[in-house]
Every structure is written in C-alpha cells, then in structure tokens.
C-alpha cells in the first residue's frame, strides 16, 4: 500500500505559518532542497490543499524554463510536471490536461482508495488546512517535519483538532548547517 507522506516546515513552537500565513521565516537552503528532493523522488503523486496548489501551479510548471532557474527549480519543475496532482477542495474542479484531480468530499474513502492504487508514495507539501483535515481521520502515514530554529509565538499550528493520542515513531533525524532539523516520524 502507498504511504501518504506530509512534508511541513514548522517553527520550534509548532507553527507552520504566522497568524496571516507568513512564511518568510522558513529556511530554504540548498542542502535542505537537495535532501527533500531525494524524498520527493520517492513519490509519484502530489497532494495539496486548494490554496497551496494554486500557489504551486502558478510557479512550478514553467520554473525550469526561466533563465535564472536553479538546480532545485529545474529538478522540482520536472517532477511537478510528471506527477499526478490531487487537490483537496470543495470549490475547485480538476483539469485532466494538467494531470490534476480534485477530492471534495468523503476524505477517508477517497484517500484510502488513492493509497490502494499502484504506485509510489503520495507526497503532501504544506497545506495546513488540508493536513488538519487528513489528521482528523488519521490518514497521514509519515511526517517529515523541518523544524526551523525560530519561535513565532502565534500562528497556524501544525496540529489542530487531532483525535489523540497519535502515536508516532521517530525513524530518522537530520540536522542541517542552518540549524533546521528534519524529523521523520512514522505513524504507529
């Protein structure tokens, strides 16, 4: 069975964005991109909430074509354009031309059906509202948390309305030169 894997940057005090969605505090050094890119290659499906999808889709399809494209831009653009995109939304429609489909209701049945399909991992980047909805149904299998050495004090929490307790097992931890620590947890 395929795994649903969440990649999320978080502050030391557990926020994924500031009160108004601010994310300028997130460290995006090349060594983190390279590490995340190796994990991204293990997935053939990207899962997003509507807002994150619209942000990603406005950049990644043509990012590799830009004259100043970085190695990360080229690699991630290639990956983004090759994978199926699944968007959790009740207000959007899928676009077969963009290899995009929408799940708008019955998350447990739809996500479990997606996990049963042949293929590699399903990777979810950010999308805190969508992550919260998935956590409520215990649908996320792996958590890759990039803990940034900053305390926000307030904002959008990583965990919200989680039916607890949620048992996780630490699989790996990696410390980057920026002070960011990647913690890979598997749901038990």
Q: For residue 178, how many other CB atoms are within 10 A of its CB? A: 13
Per-residue pLDDT at 94 = 82
- Quote the strand ranges of 75-167, DSSP E: 84-88, 100-103, 121-125, 142-148, 156-157
Per-residue pLDDT at 93 = 84
In which domain, by residue range, is 19 found? Answer: 4-187
pLDDT < 70: residue spans in the chain: none
Per-residue pLDDT at 139 = 96
As a whole number of Å, the CA-based R_g of the chain is: 16
Instruction: Please state the pTM of the whole predicted model.
Output: 0.93
Per-residue pLDDT at 126 = 85
> Cβ distance 90 to 96 under 8 Å?
no
pLDDT digits (tens, 9 = 90+) for 43-77: 999 999 999 999 999 999 999 999 999 999 999 99
Residue of 100, 87, 15 whose CA lies nearest to 52 = 87
Q: What is the CATH number of the domain that holds 107?
A: 3.40.430.10
Q: What separation in angstroms does the CA of 85 have from each of 50, 53, 74, 81, 131?
A: 11, 9, 18, 9, 16
Mark out the alpha helices in 26-185 (DSSP H runs). 30-40, 50-57, 71-82, 107-116, 128-136
Number of structural domains (the chain) is 1
> What is the rounded CA–CA span in Å between residue 166 and residue 99?
33
């Amino acid at each position: 069975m395929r795994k649903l894997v969440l990649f999320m940057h978080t502050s030391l005090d557990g926020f994924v964005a500031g009160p108004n969605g601010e994310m300028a505090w997130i460290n995006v050094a090349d060594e983190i991109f390279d590490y995340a890119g190796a994990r991204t290659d293990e997935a053939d499906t990207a899962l997003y909430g509507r807002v994150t999808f619209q942000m990603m889709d406005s950049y990644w399809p043509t990012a590799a074509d830009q004259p100043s494209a970085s190695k990360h831009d080229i690699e991630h653009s290639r990956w983004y354009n090759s994978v199926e995109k699944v968007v959790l939304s009740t207000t959007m429609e899928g676009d077969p031309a963009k290899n995009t489909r929408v799940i708008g209701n019955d998350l447990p049945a739809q996500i479990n059906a997606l996990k049963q399909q042949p293929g590699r991992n399903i990777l979810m980047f950010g999308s805190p509202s969508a992550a919260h909805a998935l956590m409520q149904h215990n649908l996320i299998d792996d958590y890759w948390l990039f803990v940034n050495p900053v305390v926000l004090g307030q904002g959008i929490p990583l965990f919200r309305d989680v039916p607890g307790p949620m048992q996780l097992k630490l699989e790996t931890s990696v410390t980057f030169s920026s002070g960011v620590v990647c913690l890979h947890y598997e749901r038990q």
